[in-house]
Amino acid sequence: MVSHAKRFEAFGWETIIIDGHDVVEIIEAVKKARASKEKPCCIIAKTLKGKHFIKGIEDNVKWHGKILGKSNSEGTIELLKSMIKNPEPMLIPTMPFGKAPENTHERTHFMLPTLTYQKGKEIATRIGVGTALRRLGYQNQNMVVLDAETKTSTYSYLFQDAHPENFIECYISEQNMISVATGLHARGKITFSNSFGAFLTRAYDQIRMAGISKANLKIHGSHGGVSVGEDGPSQMGLEDIAIYKPIPGMSILYPSDAVSAEKAVEIAANTYGLFYIRATRPGTPVIYENHEHFELGKCKVVVKSENDVISVVGAGITLHEALIAQKVLESEGIRIRVIDVFSVKPIDASGLLKNAKQTKNLVLTVEDHYINGGIRGIFLF
């Protein structure tokens, strides 16, 4: 404990070492820390696992995660009762200020205003996500946007500039950001958490538990895949689809242009549950009309003919690579069908199978993701 204290003191902290099982020491240490105005204060509490349990259990790692059983439980209860020195309450906590609102989890009704994107103009899907967040923020004061110090890259700053009172900067701590979002969900808020797809893997445990808890969280993972380019492999989300797909209740949307990016945000905002929206860094041409309708669990057939010899399935930036290939092959007399998967989970199984049957049962997926668990994996219905 002393060595830990010295490390903090070396950086100019005041340190207080206490018995973490002594309530009086804890209260006095907190009072002292609050009174410290000239430097930060660190309270180091020494605790033992199974403190005050019957003999053989306290500070015994072999008992971690084990069921005590009837005799050990009864013996421990009796031991704890015998340690009570004053049956009257010594410490009465004060009530918190204000009252938290009741959690009603009312269904939301967000609707984007008419979009005005120009076909062919290159706009990154991450910008589409940030723009949609800003637009929807005007419609519901119950919406909160969080970011992990990537707001100028995820474009969540667009929401912050318009709705600063509903924006939370969580800094470089994705784990904490998802925990904060989960707490806000428990109070009935609709949250959108933003960071790079690669960095959100740090919060996998929190996201996994949000799925188990059936939480209403929306997550925007930008900079997906190798299309991040010069930012390098440390910034490339290459496993995000694979790791989020198994989480119960998780929906994954993968927009390919600014229009579908805004519609993905709208769908997530209006649908209760856990959502992951995967966006890319570089700009991609707008290919959809502003009034195009998108649905959860439905794909989009972008190019087709009666003579298509294969269905090429992409999403995000790979859809645009497929469209480039389609034009080259068409000039050579080869017809291919190009499909935008959009909703990775739930997947449009019937739609994809129908198109596959119409193209000689041949399907090619184009990935910006590790081969295991990417779009290819969606065909393992």
Summarize pLDDT for 154-166 with one digit per residue, the tens: 999 999 999 999 9
Q: Is residue 81 part of a domain?
A: no
**Residue 157 lies in domain:** 122-285
Under 8 Å CB-to-CB from 23, ≥6 apart: which residues?
91
Residues 183 and 305 grouped into a single domain:
no
Residue 356 maps to a domain: yes
- Residue by residue, DSSP assigns 184-215 as HHHTT-EEEEEEEHHHHGGGHHHHHHHHHTT-
Residues 160 and 199 in one domain: yes
Pair type for strands 14-19 and 41-46: parallel
The secondary element (H helix, E strand) that includes residue 236 is none
Total domain count, the chain? 2
Among 65-74, 94-103, 107-116, 363-372, the range scoring the smallest mean pLDDT is 94-103
Does the pLDDT value for residue 101 go beyond 70? no
Confidence grade of residue 381 (pLDDT, cut at 50, 70, 90): very low
134, 254: one domain: yes
- Which of 234, 260, 285 terminates a domain? The answer is 285
**Global pTM value:** 0.83
The answer on 274 and 325 residing in a single domain is no
Between the alpha carbon of residue 302 and those of residues 33, 85, 120, 153, 315, the distances in Å are 62, 76, 14, 29, 11
Catalytic residue among 88, 174, 230, 239: 174
Average pLDDT over residues 285-294: 98
Q: How confident is the model at residue 110 (pLDDT cuts 50, 70, 90)?
A: confident
Pair (146, 261) in one structural domain: yes
CATH number, domain of 317, equals 3.40.50.920
pLDDT higher than 50, residue 235:
yes
- The answer to whether the beta carbons of residues 148 and 173 sit under 8 Å apart is yes
- Over range 317-337, report the average pLDDT: 97
CATH code of the domain in which 155 resides? 3.40.50.970
Tell me what pLDDT residue 379 has: 58
* Among 11-20, 132-141, 204-213, 225-234, the least confident range: 225-234
Does residue 2 lie within any of the structural domains?
A: no
At 303, the pLDDT band (50, 70, 90 cuts) reads: very high
Of 285, 312, 344, the one marking the end of a domain is 285
Residues 364 and 255 in one domain: no
| 80 pLDDT more than 90 | no
List, for residues 1-50, the tens digit of each pLDDT value: 789 999 999 999 999 999 999 999 999 999 999 998 889 999 999 999 88
With DSSP H G I counted as helix, E B as strand and the rest as coil, what are the percentages for the chain, rounded to 5?
40, 15, 45
On whether residue 41 sits in a domain, the answer given is no
To the query of whether residue 25 is one of the catalytic residues in this protein, the response is no
- 202 with 278, same domain: the answer is yes
CA 370 to each of CA 14, 226, 339, 378: distance values in angstroms, whole numbers, following the listed order: 47, 10, 20, 13
Is 13 domain-assigned? Answer: no
Instruction: Give the span between the Cα atoms of 203 and 272, in whole angstroms.
Output: 21
Residues 320, 253, single domain; the answer is no
| pLDDT computed for residue 349 by the predictor | 92
Q: Is the pLDDT of residue 100 over 80?
A: no
Inside any domain, residue 22: no
220 and 312 fall within a common domain: no
| Mean pLDDT across the chain | 92
| Residue 155: per-residue pLDDT | 98
Tell me what the mean pLDDT of segment 95-103 comes to: 64
Question: Do 222 and 153 share a structural domain?
Answer: yes
> What is the average per-residue pLDDT within 181-210?
96
Q: Which helix (H) or strand (E) holds 230?
A: none
